[in-house]
Amino acid sequence: MASSYDTLKVVGTRPIRPDGVDKVIGRAAFGADMVMPGMLWGKVKRSPHAHARIKSINADKALKLPGVKAVVTAADFPSIPSEEAFVGEGPMNFRDLSRNCMAQDKALYDGHAVAAVAATSSAIAEEALDLIEVEYEVLPHVIDVEAAMADDAPLLHDDLFTQGVEPKPTRPSNIAKKIGFNKGDIAAGFKEAEVVIERRYTTQPVHQGYIEPHACVVSVATDGQCTIFSSSQGQFMVRAYCAKLLGTDIANIRAIPSEIGGGFGGKTLVYLEPLALALSKKAGRPVKMVMNREEVFRGTGPTSGGVIEVKLGAKRDGHIVAAQLVLKYQAGAFPGSPVGPGCMCGFAMYDLPNVSITGYDVVSNRPKVAAYRAPGAPISSFGVESCLDELARELRIDPLKLRELNAAKDGTKTAHGPTFVNVGYVQTLEAAKNHPHMQQKLGPNQGRGIASGFWFNIGGESSAGCFINEDGTATIVEGCPDIGGSRAGMAMMAAEVLGIPYDRVRPVVGDTASVGFNFLTGGSRVTFATGMAVTQAAEKVVVELKRRAAMIWDISPDAVEWKDGMAVPAGANAGNFDPLSLADIALKAGRTGGPISAEVSINAQGAGPGFATHICDVEVDPETGRVKILRYTAVQDVGRAIHPAYVEGQIQGGVAQGIGWALNEEYIYDRNGRLDNPGFLDYRIPVASDMPMLETVMVEVPNPRHPFGAKGVGEVPIVPPMAAVANAIADAVGTRMRDLPMSPPKLRAALDEQNPPRMAAE
């Protein structure tokens, strides 16, 4: 049905999103916008220490404060054995998740929750926090990733032994895991190389920076049934995690997704919901909890910072014959950095004969990392794509040409194993090369950089229902929170299949009791996987519609065709009948067998990888070290754009986050391990005046596994920007910035080092 993209009527257009009006008039209900009758306000008491043993917690004074109804600590949560399960975004150890939500025995970072209180007002709850007495024994802490790897580093967990090394270690370590990928013979490769360069790069942890802080309102009834209204990337994730952490049955929890004010991976796990449930249970009243921005920075997951060591060996003609990568990723206080995908994505764009990749997952006294857009890939790619640029300069080969020479294509065997199929990387290079941007003249202190990126994209479990209403309109119910306009895409795909106008289809993101299981919104999967479920549900409905028309006409269902939203006889032999519209059939549904609907649950496979190539022009102010982005063009293989405006939006948003990562964003800790910049004033994300218009070029290499050719698009755009900016700065002023962020003081210092200030000339 979707074999010919040319005949599509709805897919590929740009209709207004169904939830749009509510959002521009301020009526959409986000996490903090809901109230429940009789509800209390919950607040979290957080550790002021980076690393401390909790000797005692005394809540007596707090509980005596009028209006305070309950206090909970780790003692109010069931003890969970250490077990790893892959249920969220990456392996999740529920013991760690429980301890991250509420510290047990030890506080492991500044901002770690140690207690929570519920009171009749937000002000009373706040006041009560100061009355909860926590006695700490402050322990030595470690913030830096390499310091945490040292033999004499303070240990966060005395039961953490490095996985992936032989023989099995006998002493605990902050290195949770060592992993490696190898291809060919790396030593022989470097021997064969005519040019070898070896560089070290570093990145800082950066926060997802969603503007909506975490928020929820929950109620627990005396029979144990729970309702959770919260902002997350997955109501089914919230339900599963809370059931596990509270020790209750999944069926006892109904999780209702609010509108979500950004997530980018940061809302793929829970922080407040389990605490609110515990408070609600204890107090016997609903509880609302909302984080403030400081809590978001101190207590929720950024992505890793890391060290990236790259060594490349090439022939003089530009063919890379050996490539080595060592990655050290901060996991925060519990194991689970995205070093695995970091390892796999670093060299994925290239066809390399000899490769060695080693990765370390390292805990330190920082908040536990959470997923952030293409988790792991931007970090390794900053190193690799910068180093490629350095190699290109060494070889005097155009950086784009160097990428073309070594580009992965269909049939390329990757360093992590699989042989690529259906990849559009070369097409992005080609489109970049031919883009007018590449011809634009540059002035003094201006430079141009290019960089590429890869991300896997995933499919996964999705359920959707397509319900035909009595008047021939349709309701789509699916279960993935809509962060970037995905509901519009769902309605478009259903409208396309049903053959009715877009605004006759209304999509709803259902709660956990209204639709079958959906894995969360993440991994660039929703338009692909949930879109596939929606499409299949609509297709099942069309089969049924044809059957009903056949019944009305009293002919065989095989003799009915579905065309432009109407049943028509398939050819002259079928008989001569006036077409029956969807509305005609819907009206008679009761008489032809009952309501017409279909529900589909799938585990979508074949997501198809994402490739991108970005072009960035900068101007460096040599006086201040400030970098201005002059022009930015992002080329990406998007498969097939369902709603092109929201695909562009995903690309532009990823680029902007990447520019912030490149130029400004970082966590600054003081010597006591306390976060110094937990606010948007000092943790500076890009604002409108920092940005130019962001040009997007959508290369369409359709994904044969999706009914409309869609590939995931949300994540790969954040992979290239950091190196693209660094390469542009090097091109502009000849200074190679290898440590992020490339903030004005750092760039100014590097410029001074390169050209010592000429004092005498004054």
Active-site positions? 715
Both tokens of residue 736? 């190679």
Map the footprint of another protein across residues 110-129, applying CB under 8 A.
122-123
Q: Minimum Å distance from CB 603 to another protein?
A: 6
Contact predicate 333/365, CB 8 Å: yes
618 touches another protein (CB under 8 A): no
What residues form DSSP beta bridges with 308? 201, 327
DSSP per-residue codes, 310-367: EEEEE-TTS-EEEEEEEEEEEEETSS--THHHHHHHHTTTB--SSEEEEEEEEE-SSP
Residues 6+ apart with CB under 8 A from 578: none
Q: Which stretch binds another protein (CB under 8 A): 96-104, 418-426, 438-446, 490-498?
A: 418-426
Compare residues 88 and 318 and give the one whose CB is closer to another protein. Answer: 88
21 touches another protein (CB under 8 A): yes
65 touches another protein (CB under 8 A): no
Q: Which stretch binds another protein (CB under 8 A): 83-91, 243-251, 582-590, 745-753?
A: 83-91
**CA 684, CA 553: separation in Å to the nearest integer?**
66
**CA 174, CA 58: separation in Å to the nearest integer?**
31
655 touches another protein (CB under 8 A): yes
How many Cβ atoms sit within 10 Å of the Cβ of residue 670? Answer: 11
φ/ψ of residue 639, rounded to 5: 70, -105
Q: Which stretch binds another protein (CB under 8 A): 48-56, 220-228, 365-373, 566-574?
A: 365-373
Map the footprint of another protein across residues 476-495, applying CB under 8 A.
483-485
Residue type (1 letter), 644: P
Compare residues 24 and 760 and give the one whose CB is closer to another protein. Answer: 24
Name the E strands within 638-753. Answer: 694-699
Map the footprint of another protein across residues 688-707, applying CB under 8 A.
688-689, 691, 693-694, 705
Map the footprint of another protein across residues 324-363, applying CB under 8 A.
338, 340-341, 343-344
**CA 107, CA 104: separation in Å to the nearest integer?**
7
- Three-class DSSP category at 478: strand
Q: Minimum Å distance from CB 173 to another protein?
A: 16
Number of residues that bind another protein (CB under 8 A): 112
Q: Minimum Å distance from CB 35 to another protein?
A: 9
Compare residues 341 and 383 and give the one whose CB is closer to another protein. Answer: 341
Compare residues 322 and 458 and give the one whose CB is closer to another protein. Answer: 458
66 touches another protein (CB under 8 A): no
Q: Which stretch binds another protein (CB under 8 A): 67-75, 245-253, 567-575, 603-611?
A: 603-611
645 touches another protein (CB under 8 A): yes
Compare residues 83 and 105 and give the one whose CB is closer to another protein. Answer: 83
Site string for another protein, 717-756 (x = CB under 8 A): ----------------------------------------
Q: Minimum Å distance from CB 91 to another protein?
A: 6
φ/ψ of residue 438, rounded to 5: -65, -20
Map the footprint of another protein across residues 449-478, applying CB under 8 A.
455-461
Residue located via tokens 């403030």: 292
The angle that helices 399-406 and 377-395 make with each other, rounded to 10 degrees, is 110
Q: Which stretch binds another protein (CB under 8 A): 192-200, 318-326, 683-691, 745-753?
A: 683-691
Compare residues 18 and 465 and give the one whose CB is closer to another protein. Answer: 18
Site string for another protein, 534-563 (x = CB under 8 A): ------------------------------
Compare residues 218 and 580 and give the one whose CB is closer to another protein. Answer: 218
Handedness of CA 335, 150, 112, 666 (dihedral sign): negative
**CA 498, CA 21: separation in Å to the nearest integer?**
25
**CA 758, CA 762: separation in Å to the nearest integer?**
8
**CA 531, CA 526: separation in Å to the nearest integer?**
6
Contact predicate 287/305, CB 8 Å: no
**CA 107, CA 54: separation in Å to the nearest integer?**
7
Radius of gyration of the chain (CA): 28
212 touches another protein (CB under 8 A): yes
Map the footprint of another protein across residues 261-320, applying CB under 8 A.
261-266, 268, 290, 292-293
**CA 359, CA 341: separation in Å to the nearest integer?**
10
19 touches another protein (CB under 8 A): yes
Map the footprint of another protein across residues 23-52, applying CB under 8 A.
23-30, 32-33
Both tokens of residue 690? 């920092």
20 touches another protein (CB under 8 A): yes
Residue type (1 letter), 624: T
Q: Minimum Å distance from CB 446 to another protein?
A: 18
